[in-house]
Amino acid sequence: MSQSPTTSPTQDYDPSAPLLEVKDLQVEFRTKAGVAQAINGMNFTLNAGETLAILGESGSGKSVTAQTIMGILDMPPGHIAGGEIRYRGQDLLSMKPERRRKLRGVSISMIFQDALSSLNPVLPVGWQIGEMFRVHHRMNRKQARQKAIELMKRVGIPAAEQRVGNYPHQFSGGMRQRIMIAMAIALDPDVLIADEPTTALDVTVQAQVMRLLKELQVENNMGLILITHDLGVVADVADKIAVMYAGRVMEHTDVFSIYSTPAHPYTKGLLESLPRIDAEGDRLSTVPGLPPTLTDMPPGCPFNPRCPYATDLCRTDRPELLPVADGHTSACHYREELYAGTITAREEVQS
Ligand code: SF4
């Protein structure tokens, strides 16, 4: 699908630059209870054809990261306190709003968690998909409808010709998510951000939607950012993983290293809480306790109240995100011991 030169002015971009580069991103929310540091020093690079999974519990900063990249963060109360987001070498944060708006959906697109509330209930899905083509490519209704049918087929919606006039409530949750994906990829974006795209779906449909995203990514050589709280869904899809906790990246590496040699207690806890078919006993392990309130962070390492390896050092000194192996960083004072598997729990943490 070719893009109109008026809608995607990519001729201005540096072809040798990474597709997306986030450098020392700082985002805060100014609330009555104080300043909440929602993102504190986020760094990553995404290349074409790569998938980065950003993983964390609610409130870890992963969705704020997605909204900031898309330029849809509510400001106020949100405030970008520092850092850079570069798309093909150009800083999005200093870009004129009009130009930035033109990139949305065209160069950087997003799939939201809840398809039912993201789709307009009173408009047929074909009309909603076709709008991308009417607005961005100035197609007439008939051409846009044909494009909508093609896209519905591309994302695996059966009987697309018959269903193009149906309304969102006439589709299952999995099919609605496919419609959202169709809208997100309609203009062949370079970067696709999927914010918890399978949370509301059952396990079988989750796997189908993840497979579809992967296929489309390979087909279009897109950079895919997958936001999730579920380490289980990213194993087959992601190339790299950034594990977030309380607005900070705790560990960042490739998908194989995360599963084989985790170097942060939080990642280790998340891995141990994954259900396994070879596990004996009936109790599933969990990460004890709750994440801290962002306006009232504990001193030292933000994970220390929940960490079975915490020492006095952890309760006073905040660890930096530092290398533990080639391409593998961890924000833990004991990352070397964790990586080598030579550390033992120091205390039982109460749930
Ligand atoms: Fe746990 Fe200390 Fe590492 Fe933080 S720095 S994760 S408290 S061992």
pLDDT for 296 equals: 85
Atom number in ligand 1 closest to CA 304:
7
Domain presence at residue 11 = no
Q: What is the CATH number of the domain that holds 229?
A: 3.40.50.300
Distance from Cα 38 to the centre of ligand 1, integer Å: 20
pLDDT for 338 equals: 93
Atom number in ligand 1 closest to CA 265:
6
CA atoms within 13 A on the CB side of 10: 18
Co-location of 195 and 71 in the same domain: yes
Return the residue matching tokens 């002015």.
Answer: 9
Co-location of 288 and 214 in the same domain: no
Please name which of 127, 132, 115 lies closest in space to residue 164, comparing C-alpha atoms. Answer: 127
Distance from Cα 246 to the centre of ligand 1, integer Å: 13
Q: Which domain holds residue 271?
A: 249-276+283-340
Co-location of 112 and 228 in the same domain: yes
Co-location of 234 and 254 in the same domain: no
Q: Give the tens place of pLDDT for each residue, 208-260.
A: 788 888 888 888 899 999 998 888 778 888 999 999 999 999 999 999 999 99
Atom number in ligand 1 closest to CA 309:
8
CB of 18 within 8 A of CB of 205?
no
Query: Does 155 contact ligand 1 (Cβ within 6 A)?
Result: no
Please name which of 258, 263, 259, 344 lies closest in space to residue 308, comparing C-alpha atoms. Answer: 344
Co-location of 195 and 254 in the same domain: no
Distance from Cα 291 to the centre of ligand 1, integer Å: 14
- Would you state the structure tokens that stand for residue 269, as one six-digit string? 């806890």
Distance from Cα 22 to the centre of ligand 1, integer Å: 25
Number of domains in the chain: 2
pLDDT for 7 equals: 44
Distance CA 320, CA 80 (A): 21
The residues, ordered by sequence, that sit 6+ positions from 41 with a Cβ below 8 Å of its Cβ are 24, 25, 26, 83, 248, 249, 321
Calculate Rg over the CA atoms of the chain: 21
Co-location of 86 and 192 in the same domain: yes
Distance CA 335, CA 251 (A): 10
Domain presence at residue 244 = no
Closest residue to atom 6 of ligand 1, CA basis: 332
As a whole number, the mean pLDDT across the chain is 87
CA atoms within 13 A on the CB side of 227: 22
Atom number in ligand 1 closest to CA 301:
4
Co-location of 292 and 330 in the same domain: yes
Domain presence at residue 350 = no
Q: Give the pLDDT mean for 150-155.
A: 89
CA atoms within 13 A on the CB side of 81: 15
Co-location of 133 and 272 in the same domain: no
Query: Does 304 contact ligand 1 (Cβ within 6 A)?
Result: yes
Query: Does 330 contact ligand 1 (Cβ within 6 A)?
Result: no
Query: Does 324 contact ligand 1 (Cβ within 6 A)?
Result: no
Query: Does 314 contact ligand 1 (Cβ within 6 A)?
Result: yes
CB of 284 within 8 A of CB of 278?
no
Distance from Cα 297 to the centre of ligand 1, integer Å: 14
Query: Does 44 contact ligand 1 (Cβ within 6 A)?
Result: no
Co-location of 75 and 145 in the same domain: yes
Choose the weakest-confidence range: 115-124, 273-282, 330-339: 273-282
Co-location of 116 and 200 in the same domain: yes
Query: Does 157 contact ligand 1 (Cβ within 6 A)?
Result: no
Distance CA 301, CA 332 (A): 8
pLDDT for 284 equals: 66
The residues, ordered by sequence, that sit 6+ positions from 341 with a Cβ below 8 Å of its Cβ are 261
**Helices of type H across 155-306:** 160-163, 173-185, 203-220, 231-234, 255-260, 265-272
Domain presence at residue 349 = no
Domain presence at residue 13 = no
Distance from Cα 332 to the centre of ligand 1, integer Å: 5
Query: Does 319 contact ligand 1 (Cβ within 6 A)?
Result: yes
Q: Give the pLDDT mean for 40-67.
A: 91
Domain presence at residue 301 = yes
Domain presence at residue 348 = no
Domain presence at residue 260 = yes
Q: Give the tens place of pLDDT for each residue, 61-116.
A: 888 999 999 998 888 888 999 999 999 999 999 888 888 888 888 899 998 877 67
Closest residue to atom 7 of ligand 1, CA basis: 304
Q: Give the tens place of pLDDT for each residue, 271-306.
A: 888 776 566 666 667 777 888 888 888 999 999 999
Report which listed range, 59-63, 99-103, 157-161, 330-334, is most confident: 330-334
Co-location of 67 and 203 in the same domain: yes
How do strand 90-91 and strand 322-325 relate by DSSP bridges? unpaired
Q: Give the pLDDT mean for 6-20.
A: 69
Distance from Cα 249 to the centre of ligand 1, integer Å: 13
Closest residue to atom 5 of ligand 1, CA basis: 332
Q: Give the pLDDT mean for 147-165.
A: 91
Co-location of 146 and 258 in the same domain: no
Please name which of 251, 260, 224 lies closest in space to residue 239, comparing C-alpha atoms. Answer: 224
Q: Sorting pLDDT into bands at 50, 70 and 90, what band is 1?
A: very low
pLDDT for 348 equals: 58
pLDDT for 3 equals: 43
Distance from Cα 197 to the centre of ligand 1, integer Å: 31
Which of 179, 209, 238 finishes a domain?
238
Distance from Cα 304 to the centre of ligand 1, integer Å: 6
Q: Sorting pLDDT into bands at 50, 70 and 90, what band is 192?
A: very high
In the three-class reduction of DSSP (H, G, I as helix; E, B as strand; rest coil), residue 75 is classed as coil
pTM here is 0.87
Q: In the chain, pLDDT over 70 holds for what percent of residues?
A: 91
Query: Does 231 contact ligand 1 (Cβ within 6 A)?
Result: no
Atom number in ligand 1 closest to CA 250:
6
